[in-house]
Structure 1
């Protein structure tokens, strides 16, 4: 992801150039290598920056065009509280799919990559794996970036919403599908990727088993996901709106039949499915620039922007299930946003990147 563009070969001998400019950028006045923490390791817990908060990062965003040629019935969306949601399998996923959410997802893509030194994954993926699958692809930005970086790979992204771009690298395509349905792919994959899945599945262990079954021997799978509720350096601020929001959201998603704590079980899901040589690394995203160092201040800038943009949409569905009215939720969310801006609240989110191999031979 260091070049401004990449060239993808075509069967007719010509080349098509696809821009690699990120949908959101971060401006820092130090060398980008300082955002890394060293080969093969992960950053330790953040520590509180006692100095004045004068070092800042700036975030600016831009949207990729997002349409797709599909059956027209799949392109009809459900509108609720001024936001649109997927029509296909309505209600399976409770975040919206409108332009504002697409912009947030593209920003979140930058957050996930910046957190690991500007990379798309931490697994030792071969240079051009033959077939690659990105489940719950969202706007498709990860799949597109992977396809550009690996021009001899065939990349498929699946999602409930048809919000992916129309103009794509020739080695990338998207399908509308529910990863909790029975998988019907005719050929196995060499690399399967899933990110920010915590809101997606009733039974994530079953998805892991299906993925294992559809990997080629020796294939890799990597999940990147967050663990809620948030944690704190020092005593938890139990009187804060941020703390209360975390607790209420955990209760609300539980009533919806989901869990935001499944990440702690991912290693077990991988092991039970049959994966071997599993590697799990944890990263930490501060809610504001309260943590020391350029790496944490940069990650915090992206995480804060991501959450400020998504808090209301996340809360409307989940807290609405607890009996709160849209007006009550919006007023509460404004208090939570103020806590995200408060550098005296030393909160952070734990994010796990985990990968494993399918054995070359049956065990």
Structure 2
């Protein structure tokens, strides 16, 4: 890669919502600030609605939009995939395909075919894996991702565990898998609200609610580990609806202590939501990387989390949070009881420090450009 590289990022950007769009946009800003001419190739239609039951777009951006963004890709226009690849082979030295779901792979294979079809092009293509494979996967997911990873020049993942998974899919003897720790890319919320002193007796789970996130385990732990005056808000999009969790809360006798707030939480509503809680709880069974630890710390909250994925790398047990084992409701109950020991919520809150994003981004962009 030359000292100055023309970079094209293929991934979601506003009006798409959530961490994926924020990451792509922030990465573009960072690369341009380093002197690399950068464009973003985004979507006008990223997923079929049947495959993504939640809300896909939002009206107000959650950070500064990137000016060099095109919205021409559509999941139902294969001809557009190939044309985009042809253009990128002419205009970019490095094409970065940001992989969130195997649903994207057919489009990415089309873009890759377009890049490779231009004779004499020296454009390198890297897959940046937010998830190598889904947490809840099908056989076809493995086949699709394997087909993509074996055709590109390099792969970047966000953890050693994900790198090993990518290496297995690339096949024996295939090198070119790098690890770059996910950097902070938090929504602009207008700053933390100043909470009143004392305990709220209230916990918060924030994010898309899917089985691997372990909210069912959190309800069991709340029933058996937290003091009986502690309440919980689960705020986010419920894939599959709220009925099963409502029924579980009723069976556990805690329905009056649990609020299920279904729907995407806009950035402007986050400060009030965080100010109402003593801690954010992340009861994940499995994880790759998440921004929710840093987001909680940005708003002054300690975190109770499992040791899944990279969560334990960002929570200092006994300093700004409490850690427990993934998939273990009893150990999560123990952690909640430990958190609510007398004086402990305020002591842990005092240990919280916002993350310094700069070192993460310096390392991340360096690894990506060298991949």
TM-score, with normalisation over the residues of structure 2? Answer: 0.31
Higher relative contact order (CA 8 A, sep 6+): 1
Give the TM-score normalised by the residue count of structure 1.
0.31
Structure ranking higher in strand proportion: 1
